[in-house]
Amino acid sequence: MAYIDQKKYYTNDAVTPTNANWGSYQYVSLKDIISNFLLMYQGNHHLVNNVNRYKILFHAKRAIQELNYDAFKIIKSLQLTIYDDLKFVLPPDFVNWVKLSLFKNNVIRDLIENVQVQSATSFLQTASASFTYDADDNATTEESALDTARKNGSLKSVYLRNEGEADNNSGSFDFDGDDIYNSRIGARYGLNTETANFNPTFTIDRKAGVINFDSTMANQSCILQYISDGMENGNDDAVSVNKLFEEYVYAAIKYALLNNKFGVQEYIVNRARKDKSSLLRNAKIRLSNIHPSRLLMNLRGENKWIK
Amino acid sequence: MINSVRNTVLAIINKNNYGYISPADFNLFAKQAQLDIFDEYFYNYNRQVNEENARVSGTGYADIKKGYEEVIDTFSVTAQLTQDATNVYTMPTDYYLINKILCSSGGTFKGEAERVSQSKITLLNGSLLTAPSTNFPAYTQQASKVTVFPDTFNGANDIEAQYIRYPLDPKWTFSTIAGGAPVFDQSQADYQDFELPADDSNNLVDKILQYAGISVREGDIYKFASVEEEKENKQE
C-alpha cells in the first residue's frame, strides 16, 4: 500500500470515517504481509518455493493469532448491562478474559472470579428419577436449582451460616430473639477469599459462551476487558499486525512451511525455528517499551532523599 | 523470416526436384515446428531456473533465463474474460497457459486469484481462516472455464486474465506461379510470419526438415536435421 499524505492521514479526505487512518502507520495489513512474503521469501531462488498462497495465508493468520494470545497484548473492552438472567454473552471475537469490572456510580470496581460452580444444566426428572425425552430423543432440560438459587439470591456460602447472620448495623446484640454472638455457632470457619468482598462475583462458562453473575449483579453495568485473536471476525481487510512484529510473522510462516515440507534438511528447519523464536523474543522486548530514559528515571528515583 | 526458412528448407531437401514440398505441406510442417519450439521454451526456462539455483548461470549477457522470459512474454496477453454464469468465466480460445487471474469489483482491482485444484476447493471454501475472500480470491478451472471464488465476483467486467497465448499459425503465401514455382507474396491477407525470434530460424529449419524428411521418406534428411538440432541444443 502506498504511503498516504498528511491530509489523508488526518482527515481521510473527508470520507467517513474520517479517523480511519489515525495510527495506521504502526500496522502492516495482512494483504501486505502476504504480498511481501510472496515477493521476498518465496520463489525460484528461495528456500520456500511452489507453495500455494492459501497455505501462506493460513500460517500468517496463525502467527498473528499466536501473537495476540502471547505477546500482542492489545486488549479490547466491551460494556454491557446485566439483566435478570445474570448473563453476559461473550463477544464474538472473545478468546480469553483479562479483567471484569462493575461500573457503578461512575466508579470502576474490579470483580473477582468465583471458582465455585455457579451454573449447571439440569435434566427434567420424573418421580421415579427417570428422564423425559423430547421428539429428537434428547433428554428434556430445565433450569437447574443452582441457577434458580443464584438468580434469586438464595445461594448461600459454605463458610457462613447465612440464616444466623446478624445485621451489623442493628446496634443491638439481639437477633431473632437470640444473642448475635450465637449466630456463628455451627458455622464453618474460614474465608472464601474470592467471595469475601462486597462486589458481585462471576464464573465464566466458556462452553455456553456466557459469564454468569450472582444475583447482586442484576441491572448493573459490566465492563469486560478481553483479548481477541486479531482475526477481526473474518474481515481480512481489518487484520493487521504491528510493524514491531512484522519480521516475526515472516519467520513464522517460513518455519511452518519448511517444517511441513518433505525433504527439507533438518539444519534448515532448525535455522528457521531459531529465527522464529528469537524474533518473537525480540518482539516481546520491543513491546515491553524499555527505553533508556525511563530506566534512567527509575534509577534516579532510587537515590531520591525522602524528606 | 518464413520465406528465408522455406528457401533454406527447399535448398536442402529439394535435390533435383526430388524433395519438393508444396506450400500447403510447408505451412503444416511450419506450424508443427513452431509449436514444438514454443513448447520447448518453457522446459528450457525451467532448466535455466534450475541452473541458476545450482549457481551455474551468470548475469548480464549470460542471463539466459532473461532471454527465455522475453520470448515467452511476447506471447503474453491481458484480456477481459467473458462471463458464462454467475462466477464462471470463459478463457479465450488461443490461451496456452493462465498466468494470472485478476479480480475487480465495481471497477476497483481487489486481488489476484489463486489457482486451486478441484480436489482442494471444497475444503478451502469451508475453511475458517483461508476461505477465498475479496482480498484473496481463488479460482478453479474446468475445460476452458474458470470459476472464481468468492462468488461476489460476478460482474461482466470483474475478471481479467493475463495468459500466454499460442503462437499464430505461420502461413507462407503466394499469388502467382513463375516457372512452375509459386512466388512468395507477403501482401496476402492470410500471410503470417513465424512469431518466434529470428534466432530460432535454425531450429525451425531443422524441425521442418525432420517432418519433410519423413514426408518424402528420406532418412538422410531426417538424420541430418536431428543431428543439427542436437548440436543446437547442446550449444544452448
Task: Select from B99, B98, B97, B96 the least CA-distant residue to B166.
Answer: B96
Return the higher-pLDDT residue of B180 and B133: B133
Q: Determine the residue among A52, A95, A233 to mutate to test chain B binding: the one whose Cβ has the most chain B Cβ atoms within 10 Å.
A: A52
Q: What is the pLDDT of residues A141-158, one digit of tens each?
A: 888 888 888 888 777 776
Q: 3-state DSSP: chain B helix, strand, coil percent, rounded to 5?
A: 45, 25, 30
Nearest residue in chain B measured CA to CA from A235: B133
User: Above 70 in pLDDT, residue A58?
Assistant: yes
Distance from CA of A193 to the nearest CA of B (A): 41
Percent of chain B with pLDDT over 70: 92
Which B residues, 47 through 106, put their C-beta within 8 Å of a C-beta on chain A? 49, 52-53
Return the higher-pLDDT residue of B149 and A177: B149
Residues B218 and A260: their CA atoms lie apart, in Å, by 55
Return the higher-pLDDT residue of A51 and A72: A51
Partner-chain contact B52 A44, CB within 8 Å:
yes
| ipTM of model | 0.82
Task: Compute the average pLDDT of residues B12-37.
Answer: 83
Q: Which positions ≥6 away from A161 have C-beta within 8 Å?
A: A183, A184, A185, A186, A187, A188
pLDDT of amino acid B101: 94
pLDDT of amino acid A164: 47
User: In this complex, how many residue pairs, one in chain A and one in chain B, have their CB atoms less than 8 Å apart?
Assistant: 40
pLDDT of amino acid B149: 92
Residue from the list B49, B128, B135 with its beta carbon closest to the beta carbon of A237: B135
Q: Which positions ≥6 away from B48 have C-beta within 8 Å?
A: B57, B64, B65, B68
User: Above 50 in pLDDT, residue A247?
Assistant: yes
Partner-chain contact A53 B114, CB within 8 Å:
yes
In chain A, residues with a C-beta closer than 8 Å to the C-beta of B127 are 54, 58
pLDDT of amino acid B121: 93
Nearest residue in chain A measured CA to CA from B124: A54
User: Above 70 in pLDDT, residue A160?
Assistant: no
What is the average pLDDT score of chain A? Answer: 83
Return the higher-pLDDT residue of B225 and A136: A136
User: Above 90 in pLDDT, residue B10?
Assistant: no
pLDDT of amino acid A115: 79
Residues A266 and A24: their CA atoms lie apart, in Å, by 39
Q: What is the pLDDT of residues B216-230, one digit of tens each?
A: 666 676 777 677 777
pLDDT of amino acid A279: 92
